[in-house]
Amino acid sequence: MGVDVPATNEGGSGALAGVRILDFTWAVAGPTATMQAASLGAEVIKVETSLRLDVLRRSVFTGATTNRQKRAVTLNLRHPTAVELAKRLAARSDVVAESFRPGVMDSLGLGYEALRQVKDDIIMLSSSMAGQRGPYAKFAGYAPMFVALSGLGDMTGYADGPPTQIRVGGDIIVGVHGGFALLAALVHHQATGQGVHIDLSSIESQSNLIGDSILEYSVTGRVPTRTGNREPGMVPHNCFPSAGRDQWVAIAVGTEAEWAGLVEAMGRPEWTADPRFATVALREQAADEIEELVAGWTAGRTAIEATARLQAAGVAAAPSYQAPDLLADPHVVSRDLQATVPGAGQEWPLLRLGGRLAATPLRLDRAGPAMGEDNDQVFADLLGLTETEIKELEADGVFT
């Protein structure tokens, strides 16, 4: 069926130009990892099916963002011919990524050992809630479960409130770990010519964010608790109300010089001379009172006004932005954060990823594609299928 073409992805630009990734990931965590690779220049071919709709497809905004720079094909992996085509695509790829429960890819005939038979140096990223082995390995879970089990949820929130599960942010944390692991695996392959199976646990990715708290417990036996927006050794350290509806300014004061700057910016109110506030240690004991007094000052001016006065005095402060504020900010505009690019038949104003690479700029010229948008191109150009063969496979339900 068809004529195979060379495996190498020679087109494109970027640090990962020449790398091809066959992407079976779904939801947010796995697709975030491959999205980073695509932005670095890798060719990413997203494989999905209408029989089990990717949750990314439930929001056109999430799909346009997280599937940026990718090509999209459909394969009904319940069909043996679709599995055969998937293996042929894998044989012409450098990386296969998936984010199903452990065992699912094996049951489809597309597990790591099976793919090594078609390409012995394949890199495979398997991202799951709890990793590929252990008592929780086959548990189902989304970001709130990752965060809850990791301990991060219990460290997030206010002291007098419940643990806070950070939802999509938890997925993105996993995706960043996955992107890093992919880069490490590609460097390893470059040095040795060997493939590798990456076992990425979402729980462990979250736990790494509170390594210091876990270390504190391991050494002292004390269980660290959530403290809201507070930070040890810094007072004030919080978001404070400012003039206007639901407007806030973030302020963080750590050193004596910063405290002096805060006092100066506020016009040296009488309460700042209270000896109970004379040192960082004393201010920590009186944090509630101090932050209430600071809030009284911020409430009388806009977040922008408060920020300008505090920054002029050497105090770390910034308005807490909503979307309109962010996109109108002159600094953000000067950094060219947003770019309008085509995708799925329309234009999308997407945000660029963080970082500016001078020699190999991050790519942003295509939003997430429509489902199956690249079927004809991928299967014709990469696997050499004829137009007639593609139509026959469509009729047979292979591309559902």
Residue-wise pLDDT for 298-309, tens only, equals 999 999 999 999
Q: For position 226, what pLDDT does the model report?
A: 94
With H, G, I as helix, E, B as strand and everything else as coil, classify residue 76.
Answer: coil
Q: For position 140, what pLDDT does the model report?
A: 87
pTM higher than the cut 0.75: yes
Q: For position 11, what pLDDT does the model report?
A: 54
Q: For position 1, what pLDDT does the model report?
A: 56
Q: For position 8, what pLDDT does the model report?
A: 47
| CATH number for the segment(s) 247-321 | 3.30.1540.10
Q: What are the b/e assignments for 255-270, b being 16+ CB within 10 Å?
A: eeebbbbbbbbbeeee
Q: For position 289, what pLDDT does the model report?
A: 98
Catalytic center residues: 171
Q: For position 165, what pLDDT does the model report?
A: 87
What stretches in the chain show pLDDT beneath 70?
Answer: 1-12
| CATH number for the segment(s) 20-209+339-395 | 3.40.50.10540
Q: What is the DSSP string of 87-139?
A: HHHHHT-SEEEE-SPTTHHHHTT-SHHHHHHH-TT-EEEEEESS-SSSTTTT-
Give yes or no for a contact between 38 and 64, defined as CB atoms under 8 angstroms apart.
Answer: no
**Domain ranges (residues) in the chain:** 20-209+339-395, 247-321
**Beta-bridge partner residues of 239:** 250
Alpha helices, DSSP H, located in the chain = 29-39, 60-66, 80-91, 104-107, 112-118, 143-150, 168-192, 202-207, 211-220, 256-265, 280-285, 287-298, 303-312, 323-328, 330-334, 375-381, 387-395
Residue 306 identity (one-letter amino acid): A
The CB-side HSE value for 182 (13 A sphere, CA atoms) comes to 33
